[in-house]
Chain A
Amino acid sequence: MSTTETKRGKDTANDAVREFPWWLLAVIAFLVVMAVVIVTQPDFNRAFMFIKGNPGSLEDLGRGGFWAFIGQGITITIAITLIAFALALLFGLLAGLGRINRHFVPRNIAIFYIEFVRGVPTLVLIFTVAYVLVPGLAGLLGIPTGSINSAVRAIVALAVIYGAFLAEIFRAGIESIPRGQMEAARSLGMTYGQAMRHIILPQAIRNTLPALGNDFIAMLKDSSLVSVLAVRDITQQARLYAGSTFRFNESYLVLTFLYLSMTLALSLLLRVLERRLGKNV
């Protein structure tokens, strides 16, 4: 009796050890050590100040400039991610709706877009969109190409790329809603558009929120690729700093620290949001 009980006690203790998120502890430890190093080591501190983008000191926060305090590099990374993701949501929704349209013209346009993007490496697409598609569209619209800065090109490129991924998420979300929902709405006389907007999409989007969150984090990371367009995000800042000072350890450890803290914070935030939404479903 007592032996089995102690054995069971040991098993639950073992389970607790096995279930504990050690990886999270390790990640947090890395971040804490990095933070301490950045504060205490002048070499790291200089790299940090440069990469996040000057100006960006405590005095800036004192003067009320939050984004100035955060630094130009981080501001650009966050702004590009947010704006490009918002645009990608729009492209993705349109392409996802086109993908399931019963008319062959919108369906084929949507599939062409999705498959085209999926067949080309992200980095190559960034060049193609920034240097071919954007100038081409600008030419059609009569906008002088020179007036379009590289940040705008970067945003369009990321939005086009992620729109194709989000389209598949939206499509899967819409197709996860039972057919009876559309039929019930149509049988009441609602149009396809009304049924989609008020009956199907509200349910579908709730189902897709976890996947959208993951893609938002992925986009934050992929925004580093736009440094190839010389947009001065944190990646570009790190490359510039490393290139001019040859302090590679400092530059790239600080850069890694910045991305990891942002993605970790985001994924923890998303988990909380998901749990809260889960309760309401």
Chain B
Amino acid sequence: MYKSDDIIVVDGLHKYFGHIEAVKGVDLRVRRGEVVIIVGPSGSGKSTVLRCINHLEVPTHGAVYIDGVHLEDKKTDINKVRAEVGMVFQQFNLFPHLTVLENVTIAQRMVRKRSREEAQEIAMEQLRHVGIPEKADAFPRQLSGGQQQRVAIARALAMNPKIMLFDEPTSALDPEMIKEVLDVMLLLAREGMTMVVVTHEMGFARAAADRVVFMDEGRVVEVATPTELFNNPQHERTKLFLSKILGH
């Protein structure tokens, strides 16, 4: 039914929180290796769509397919799917009682059933990937925000996911730390990782995105390449939003 190169399919997604309809019918397809950026004003439903992609939120109506697997199907083993979909949060959400190395190994050992040695080897490899292997034995509270977020990325990557989701990964960071995190994300994009990123970092979007999705009030208003969307937006609402965040 779905072409196999669409690794993420979001189909007619609606999400209610009580009486509030946060997402009002969103369709989205992401091809393998594609980098999709979601932008939009606060409260437009960006996080909710992202969180439905790994079933942290359950859609009220509609369906999400990851690599052809229907997430809302009762028979789907959601933990198996989530192991393939890494997620990076605005607030990092590192485990404060575990060292950096343990943060990056714990899920490998429990979910991927890897041996301690193998998990540690992969963890060190991913910590080198994000540029902080020397912090392996530190606790999260001893790291800067930028370092914590890079550990969070390494933690997700250590599961060898097919997809990486990012929900405003640099919004909680001091300005001087934003670049170190975006550099890691850019590296991942270049390596061919499939990524869906909610961010307002337009420089990153231009450099990394294949497509930019503009959302407003729970709907997708416009989808285009970054150049098209930023230079020649088609909808009034897109123009208004861009003029606000780009400041012209």
What residues make up the interface of A, taking CB atoms closer than 8 Å to B? Answer: 178, 180-181, 183-191, 194, 198-199, 202-203, 206
The residue from B82, B96, B106, B110 contacting A187, defined by CB atoms under 8 A apart? B82
- Is the CB–CB distance between B93 and A190 below 8 Å? no
Nearest chain A residue, comparing its CB with the CB of B90: A180
Given contacts A186-B79, A189-B82, A191-B79, 9 further A-B contacts (CB under 8 A): A183-B93, A184-B89, A186-B82, A187-B85, A187-B86, A188-B107, A189-B159, A194-B110, A203-B95
- Is the CB–CB distance between A184 and B95 below 8 Å? yes
Q: How far is the CA of A185 from the CA of B152 in the complex (A)?
A: 11
- Is the CB–CB distance between A189 and B156 below 8 Å? no
Please name all residues of chain B whose beta carbon is closer than 8 Å to the beta carbon of A187 when the two chains form the complex: 54, 56, 82, 85-87, 156
Please name all residues of chain A whose beta carbon is closer than 8 Å to the beta carbon of B86 when the two chains form the complex: 187-188
B76 to chain A, nearest CB (A): 13
- Is the CB–CB distance between A188 and B156 below 8 Å? yes
B187 at interface by CB-CB < 8 Å: no
Q: How far is the CA of A30 from the CA of B123 in the complex (A)?
A: 59
Nearest chain B residue, comparing its CB with the CB of A206: B97
- Is the CB–CB distance between B106 and A198 below 8 Å? yes
Identify 18 residue pairs between A and B in the complex whose beta-carbon atoms are under 8 Å apart, listed by A's number.
A180-B91, A180-B93, A184-B89, A184-B152, A186-B56, A187-B86, A187-B87, A189-B79, A189-B81, A189-B82, A189-B83, A189-B111, A189-B159, A190-B106, A190-B111, A199-B106, A203-B95, A203-B97
- Is the CB–CB distance between A188 and B89 below 8 Å? no
Most buried by B among A184, A187, A198, A202: A187
- Is the CB–CB distance between B96 and A203 below 8 Å? yes
Nearest chain B residue, comparing its CB with the CB of A191: B79
Please name all residues of chain A whose beta carbon is closer than 8 Å to the beta carbon of B91 when the two chains form the complex: 178, 180
- Is the CB–CB distance between B87 and A198 below 8 Å? no
Please name all residues of chain A whose beta carbon is closer than 8 Å to the beta carbon of B83 when the two chains form the complex: 188-189
A75 to chain B, nearest CB (A): 37
A160 to chain B, nearest CB (A): 31
B155 at interface by CB-CB < 8 Å: yes
Please name all residues of chain A whose beta carbon is closer than 8 Å to the beta carbon of B111 when the two chains form the complex: 188-190, 194
Across chains A and B, which 10 residue pairs bring their CB atoms closest together, nearest first?
A189-B83, A188-B107, A184-B93, A180-B93, A189-B111, A187-B87, A189-B82, A189-B79, A202-B97, A194-B110
- Is the CB–CB distance between B159 and A188 below 8 Å? yes
Please name all residues of chain A whose beta carbon is closer than 8 Å to the beta carbon of B155 when the two chains form the complex: 188
Please name all residues of chain B whose beta carbon is closer than 8 Å to the beta carbon of A198 when the two chains form the complex: 106, 110
B164 to chain A, nearest CB (A): 11
The residue from B54, B89, B96, B110 contacting A190, defined by CB atoms under 8 A apart? B110
Please name all residues of chain A whose beta carbon is closer than 8 Å to the beta carbon of B74 when the two chains form the complex: none
A183-B89 contact in complex given A188-B111, A189-B159, C-beta closer than 8 Å: yes
Most buried by B among A186, A191, A202: A186
Nearest chain B residue, comparing its CB with the CB of A180: B93
Q: Encode contact with A along B26-59: 1 for CB under 8 Å, 0 otherwise.
A: 0000000000000000000000000000101000
Please name all residues of chain B whose beta carbon is closer than 8 Å to the beta carbon of A191 when the two chains form the complex: 79
Q: How far is the CA of A137 from the CA of B47 in the complex (A)?
A: 51
A209 to chain B, nearest CB (A): 13
Q: How far is the CA of A191 from the CA of B83 in the complex (A)?
A: 11
Q: How far is the CA of A180 from the CA of B95 in the complex (A)?
A: 10
Nearest chain B residue, comparing its CB with the CB of A194: B110
Most buried by B among A188, A194, A199: A188
B97 to chain A, nearest CB (A): 5
B248 at interface by CB-CB < 8 Å: no
Nearest chain A residue, comparing its CB with the CB of B95: A199
Please name all residues of chain B whose beta carbon is closer than 8 Å to the beta carbon of A194 when the two chains form the complex: 110-111
B3 at interface by CB-CB < 8 Å: no
Please name all residues of chain B whose beta carbon is closer than 8 Å to the beta carbon of A203 when the two chains form the complex: 95-97
Q: How far is the CA of A178 from the CA of B90 in the complex (A)?
A: 13
Most buried by A among B54, B94, B97, B107: B107
A232 to chain B, nearest CB (A): 44
A196 to chain B, nearest CB (A): 12
Nearest chain A residue, comparing its CB with the CB of B152: A184
Q: Encode contact with A along B80-122: 1 for CB under 8 Å, 0 otherwise.
A: 1111011101010111110000000011001100000000000
A185 to chain B, nearest CB (A): 7
Please name all residues of chain A whose beta carbon is closer than 8 Å to the beta carbon of B106 when the two chains form the complex: 190, 198-199
Please name all residues of chain A whose beta carbon is closer than 8 Å to the beta carbon of B85 when the two chains form the complex: 187
